[in-house]
Amino acid sequence: MNRKITSLLAVPTVALVVGLLSGSVAADKKPARVPTPEINIERGEKCVEDTDYMRRHHQDLILHQRDKTVHEGIRTKKYSLKNCVDCHASKETNSVVGKEGFCESCHAYTAVKIDCFSCHTPERTEEAKVGLPAPSRDPTDMIKRSVGAVLPKTGGGG
């Protein structure tokens, strides 16, 4: 019974969150009334799946990959947490947690606790740091990044 109510509530909540997130993409001109997540993708042209799919299902992909890796030793790169972090970590801190961290800022916004990074390192690997553009101090660039959401038109990122 309880579970039914929760799932009934969950659907509109997810819809609302996804709606808000895509809303922040459209209205990138003026600052939002509520604090919006930092979406700064620093590396890579395109995410492993479409942005919409990743927003709803990234947790399923990571969960599936986790069991495959731990129990069967399947270490494909595509859906691995390491691969996520390598692209999504902040250029300044090299991390996906922290106030402007890709994972933590959005999870704080949606009030969903993540505990991945109590064990896994939130920092990108040394190899992934190679070839990364140097942290930019150019003000126009900073603004562009804080509006963030200017994602490639190919539907990548997210």
Partner 1 sequence: MSLSRRGFLGVAGAAAAGAALSPGIRLIELADARSPEEAASALNRWGLLIDATKCSEGCDACVTACNEEHGLTSLGRPQTDAQWIRKVTLKDKQTGRVTTLPMLCMHCAEPPCVDVCPTGASFKRADGIVLVDKHTCIGCRYCMMACPYKARSFIHEDITGQKPYAPRGKGTVESCTLCVHRVDTDRIPACVEACNADGGKALQFGDLNDPNSKIAKRLATEPSTQIRADLNLNTGVRYQGI
Contact residues toward partner 1 (CB under 8 A) are: 66, 68, 70-77, 82, 85, 118-121, 125
- Please check whether residue 88 is in contact with residue 102, taking contact to mean a CB–CB distance below 8 angstroms: yes
Alpha carbon 21 to its chain's center: 12
For partner 1, give the closer residue by CB, 43 or 82: 82
CB of 73 to partner 1, least distance (A): 4
For partner 1, give the closer residue by CB, 54 or 62: 62
CB of 107 to partner 1, least distance (A): 17
- Please check whether residue 56 is in contact with residue 18, taking contact to mean a CB–CB distance below 8 angstroms: yes
- Long-range CB pairs of 139-144, under 8 A, 24+ apart, other chains included: none
CB of 64 to partner 1, least distance (A): 12
For partner 1, give the closer residue by CB, 122 or 148: 122
**Paired residues of 65 in beta bridges:** none
Alpha carbon 70 to its chain's center: 23
For partner 1, give the closer residue by CB, 5 or 70: 70
